[in-house]
Structure 1
C-alpha cells in the first residue's frame, strides 16, 4: 500500500486548520487537526477500513508475507476491526479467490466489535484464566498467525506506558507459544524504550527469524514499532522431545 507524498517536500499542500472551540482542550484540537490532515486517515475512509491502523498491517504483510491464503489468524485486541478486514481479504476467508485455500480469522477484544463478514469476533480478555483454551476451541485447533496491536491505556508517564505495553506484548507472546502451529508467525506492537531486550531474547528462542520494523503508516512522532517473529519452532513443552 502506497500513500501519495504528503510530506510537503517538493510540493505545496493545503492543510486543514482547526479553530479552538469553546470547551475543547487544546490537545483535542491538535488531535482533530492531525486526523483531518493524516493521509492514512483519509485513505482509510476512501478504502472502507475501520481505522488507519489497517495500513500498518498491510505494509508489514507486504514485506514479510505471513497472511497467506488458507492461514488461520488470531487477532488480539482486534477492535475496531481494521486488522480483521485486512486479514479476511489476504487469507481468503470468504473464499473469493478461486483456486486458493480458504483461511479463517478470529478476533478477541475487551470490547464488542461490529460484525465483519469472514471474521469471528468475541469479547474476551485473553489474560483471563482459561482464555487460551477458549480461543483454541473457537479455532478448532492451532493458529498460523497471532497478531497483537494492543496498547495499554495511557498514564501520561512515558516509562510507565512503555512497561505496560511490554507486559502486554510478553503476555501475547506466551499466548502465541501456546496456540501457534509450527512455522507460525507472531506480530505485535511494542514501544521503544529500553525494556524490550527480554522480549527479543524470548522470541529468538522460539522463532527462526525476528525482525523489528516501523511501518510507514506508524506516525513519525510515535515510539511504536512492530516485532515480526517468523518460523515458530514449536510448543515449548515439546522442545525437549
Structure 2
C-alpha cells in the first residue's frame, strides 16, 4: 500500500491511498479496497464513530426535510449495522440529554443480531411476519412518527432482477408503514432507479401529502440508488380501504 505525496506547488491536500494488487486478490477487490480507503465518508464515519458511511445519507436527508424531530418515535427496518439508528438517536433526543427538548424513541429491527446502540432499542424480528406490526407498536407503546429503511435485497448480479427485488422489498416496507405510522408520519426508503417503481410512486402520492425522490451527496455517483421521502401520511383508514379493494 502506498500514498501519493502532496503537490507542494498547489499546497497541502489529503494523501490518496493506492493499494497494490496482492496475490490471490482479484483486481475488482483491490479497486473496492482502494475506493473505501479514499472515500471521505468512510474516513469521517470512523472518526465520528458511525458504523458505516450510510449514516451520512440519513443525516443529509434529514438536514433537507427535517423528519427526525425531537420527541419522534422512529422505526428502522433492517437496521444492521446500526448507522441510521445512531443518527436517529441523536436527532430525536432518544437519550434525553437535551433537557429542554422532548425525548424520542428509536426502535431498530433486523433478521440478525445487532450490536447494542445507546439510546436505541434493537430487536431481532422479521418485519414481514404476520404479527410484526403489532409487536412493533407494543414496543413503541403506540404508532410511529417515522418508518425508515436502508434495506437492499441480496444482489443476483442481474441489474433488472435486482431492481425488481428491491422494489418488492420497498413495497413490503410501505405496507408495514401503513400499519404502524401515525397520521402525518414519514416514510423513508432506499430504491434503485430503473422505472419499475412507478406503481410504488403512485401509492406514495396517494397516501402522503408530499413525496420527494432524492439522491443525497453521500450516495456514490456511480450508484443507481436513490431515496424516497414521503411525508404527511394520510392515515390508516385510507390504506385499509386500498387493501380491501385489492383483496376484492
Query: Normalising by the residue count of structure 1, what TM-score does the alignment of the two structures yield?
Result: 0.93
Q: Is the alpha carbon distance of 1:81 and 1:155 closer, same or farther for their aligned partners in structure 2, counting shifts above 3 Å?
A: same
2:194 paired with 1:207: no
Q: Is the alpha carbon distance of 1:238 and 1:219 closer, same or farther for their aligned partners in structure 2, counting shifts above 3 Å?
A: closer
Rounded to whole Å, the distance in 2 between the matches of 1:13 and 1:43 is 13
Does the aligned pair in 1 maintain the 2:207–2:239 contact within 8 Å?
Answer: no
Off by >4 Å, runs of 4+ in structure 1: 10-13, 237-240
Q: Is the alpha carbon distance of 1:230 and 1:111 closer, same or farther for their aligned partners in structure 2, counting shifts above 3 Å?
A: same
In the TM superposition, residue 118 of structure 1 has moved relative to its aligned partner by: 0.4
Does the aligned pair in 1 maintain the 2:178–2:239 contact within 8 Å?
Answer: no
1:34 counterpart residue number: 35
In the TM superposition, residue 15 of structure 1 has moved relative to its aligned partner by: 1.9
- Structure 2 alignment gaps of length 5 or more: 1-9, 242-248
1:18 counterpart residue number: 19
Give the SS at the match of 1:145: strand
Q: Is the alpha carbon distance of 1:239 and 1:167 closer, same or farther for their aligned partners in structure 2, counting shifts above 3 Å?
A: closer
Following superposition of structure 1 onto structure 2, how do residues 1-241 of structure 1 map, counting pairs within 5 Å? 14-236=15-237
Q: Is the alpha carbon distance of 1:148 and 1:177 closer, same or farther for their aligned partners in structure 2, counting shifts above 3 Å?
A: same
Does the aligned pair in 1 maintain the 2:71–2:94 contact within 8 Å?
Answer: yes
Rounded to whole Å, the distance in 2 between the matches of 1:98 and 1:137 is 26
Give the SS at the match of 2:146: strand
In the TM superposition, residue 238 of structure 1 has moved relative to its aligned partner by: 7.3
1:7 counterpart residue number: none
In the TM superposition, residue 132 of structure 1 has moved relative to its aligned partner by: 1.4
Rounded to whole Å, the distance in 1 between the matches of 2:132 and 2:159 is 30
Q: Deviation digits for residues 83-108 of structure 1, max 9, x if unmatched?
A: 00000000000011121000000000
Give the SS at the match of 1:75: strand
Rounded to whole Å, the distance in 1 between the matches of 2:130 and 2:22 is 46
Q: Deviation digits for residues 180-231 of structure 1, max 9, x if unmatched?
A: 0000000000000110100000011110000000000000000000000000
Rounded to whole Å, the distance in 1 between the matches of 2:35 and 2:122 is 30
Q: Is the alpha carbon distance of 1:69 and 1:26 closer, same or farther for their aligned partners in structure 2, counting shifts above 3 Å?
A: same
Does the aligned pair in 2 maintain the 1:147–1:188 contact within 8 Å?
Answer: yes
Q: Deviation digits for residues 99-142 of structure 1, max 9, x if unmatched?
A: 10000000001111100110001111111221111111111110
Q: Is the alpha carbon distance of 1:169 and 1:38 closer, same or farther for their aligned partners in structure 2, counting shifts above 3 Å?
A: same
In the TM superposition, residue 14 of structure 1 has moved relative to its aligned partner by: 3.3
Give the SS at the match of 1:69: coil
- Structure 1 alignment gaps of length 5 or more: 1-9
Does the aligned pair in 2 maintain the 1:177–1:236 contact within 8 Å?
Answer: no
Q: Deviation digits for residues 126-165 of structure 1, max 9, x if unmatched?
A: 1122111111111111000000000011110000000000
How many pairs are equivalent?
Answer: 231
